[in-house]
Amino acid sequence: MDAKRAEHTVIIGAGQAGIQVADSLRAEGYPGAVTVLNDESADPYQRPPLSKDYLSTAAEGTALPLRGPDFFESKNITLHSGRAVAVDTDARKVSLDGGTVLDYTHLVFATGAANRPLSCPGATLEGVHALRTLRDAQNLQRALATAQRVVVIGAGFIGLEFAAAAHARGLEVTVLEFASRPMGRALSATASQWFAERHRTDGIDLRLNEGVTSIERDEAGLVVISTTGRRYPADLVLYGVGVLPRTEVPQAAGVATDNGVLVDAALRTSVPGVLAVGDCASFPNVHTGTRTRLESVQNATDQGRHAARSIMGENSSYAQLPWFWSTQGALRLQIAGISEPTDEPVILGDPSSGKFSIALLRNGALAAVESVNSPADHIAARKLVGQNISVDPATLTHPSFSLKALAKTLIPVPS
């Protein structure tokens, strides 16, 4: 590498992670040029509201920007429209689809993830939607305005958030999920069963152990045909069947990938000068001891901050506790830590009240906490989980127990 090359960090991806890297580089006093590549036509925006507030009737109708319009100029960050098509890691050059070539000293992949496509016949019919981008959300807004019957394929976070929003607008909603419980990849069985019952009580027709074989169109509209042979008429179909990390460009550039861009504890890839953050990065998770790829705002922003410090020369391990949230109608789910199927669930509070938490114990220690309409538990859990705190189930279920009080006794109050 040319030692005199001007310091320039190029960030591929203008989502929550990419923008955070740029912001944090400036906050850390990075002296070089910073360019963020944005491959969407809209200015960088926040994704979480797209499956929630944005689709409710009370929506303000515009996306929430990640930063204001003055931000980029005032921080001397170049927001460049374009898609990276190739990276030459020896010459340290990024080629864009418009023909532009950028020299870099540091490169950050913040390419995020793409929706896993629906593979059944009829998946690309008009009226079959996915939800990831602002454009997707705008299409759905329009479709919701005239739809009456909605079929949702996949009872993950996106599917259920959308189902709740559509139901709140007065639409008939059926959710088909091939697995035996909703949100099975992210939630304990105890919590996901509670959510299944609650959504059904609220009036959503949630059908488990039922996948989709095909989608057809007849004179009346769409028809979703399930693995049990049932036919569900619909005006609008939304599928949310998982995501795939966007690794084509790093992979073609010779950067090691395996269900994501492989990074070390400082978020560096296998190639010098190249990092990866957010949904696309597979990182060593100090909390589980395994490689993890997380799709969350917390992970995107905290890794964005950490990568900026790595670029500044700090060599520390990324160790932030993962946390997640989902709002499904009036249900507010917050998760601290990552549960495993073998964890022992202990219920705190009364699930029938609609406000409770589930503590998940691993080898007697608090490994994760799932909170429903209980932000205080969640906030306490974010302080407690990851500290290997041993707890006795009998203590947790005692009527006088509170996670908040436990957090206060264990953690010194900052002076």
Partner 1 sequence: MPTITFAQSSGATTEITVAEGTSLMRAAVTNSVDGIVGECGGQAMCATCHVYVRPEFTDQLLELSDDEDEMLDCTTAERTDSSRLGCQIKMSPALMNIVVDVPADQV
The footprint of partner 1 (CB under 8 A) covers 46-49, 52-53, 60, 64-71, 74, 297, 301, 305, 325, 327, 332, 334, 373-376, 379, 382, 404
Cα(304)–Cα(37) distance, rounded to whole angstroms?
A: 15
Cα(361)–Cα(24) distance, rounded to whole angstroms?
A: 35
- Shorter beta-carbon distance to partner 1: residue 180 or 316: 316
Residue 375 has which token pair? 């932000």
- Shorter beta-carbon distance to partner 1: residue 178 or 325: 325
Nearest to 308 by CA among 25, 12, 78: 25
Burial class of 132 by CB neighbour count within 10 A (0 to 12, 13 to 18, 19+): middle
From the centroid of its chain, how far is CA 337? Answer: 14
Nearest to 268 by CA among 301, 239, 309, 234: 309
Instruction: Tell me how many helices (H) and strands (E) the chain has.
Output: 10, 26
- Shorter beta-carbon distance to partner 1: residue 61 or 170: 61
Shortest distance (Å) from residue 57 CB to partner 1: 13
Do 44 and 38 touch, CB atoms closer than 8 A? yes
Shortest distance (Å) from residue 322 CB to partner 1: 14
For 302, residues 6+ apart whose C-beta sits below 8 A from its C-beta are 318, 320
Shortest distance (Å) from residue 46 CB to partner 1: 4
Per-residue 3-state assignment (H helix, E strand, C coil) for 82-137: CCEEEEECCCCEEEECCCCEEECCEEEECCCEEECCCCCCCCCCCCEECCCCHHHH
- Shorter beta-carbon distance to partner 1: residue 25 or 234: 25
Shortest distance (Å) from residue 372 CB to partner 1: 12
Shortest distance (Å) from residue 325 CB to partner 1: 5
- Shorter beta-carbon distance to partner 1: residue 27 or 252: 27
Shortest distance (Å) from residue 40 CB to partner 1: 17
Q: What is the DSSP letter of 45?
A: B
Cα(301)–Cα(233) distance, rounded to whole angstroms?
A: 41
For 105, residues 6+ apart whose C-beta sits below 8 A from its C-beta are 1, 5, 6, 7, 8, 9, 32, 92, 273
- Shorter beta-carbon distance to partner 1: residue 34 or 176: 34
Phi, psi dihedrals of residue 140, rounded to the nearest 5°: -65, -40
Shortest distance (Å) from residue 58 CB to partner 1: 9
Helices 157-168, 189-202: inter-axial angle, 10-degree rounding: 20
- Shorter beta-carbon distance to partner 1: residue 161 or 177: 161
- Shorter beta-carbon distance to partner 1: residue 67 or 207: 67
Shortest distance (Å) from residue 267 CB to partner 1: 18
Shortest distance (Å) from residue 379 CB to partner 1: 4
Shortest distance (Å) from residue 68 CB to partner 1: 3
- Shorter beta-carbon distance to partner 1: residue 35 or 326: 326
Cα(389)–Cα(359) distance, rounded to whole angstroms?
A: 12
- Shorter beta-carbon distance to partner 1: residue 22 or 212: 22
Nearest to 17 by CA among 308, 319, 361, 342: 308
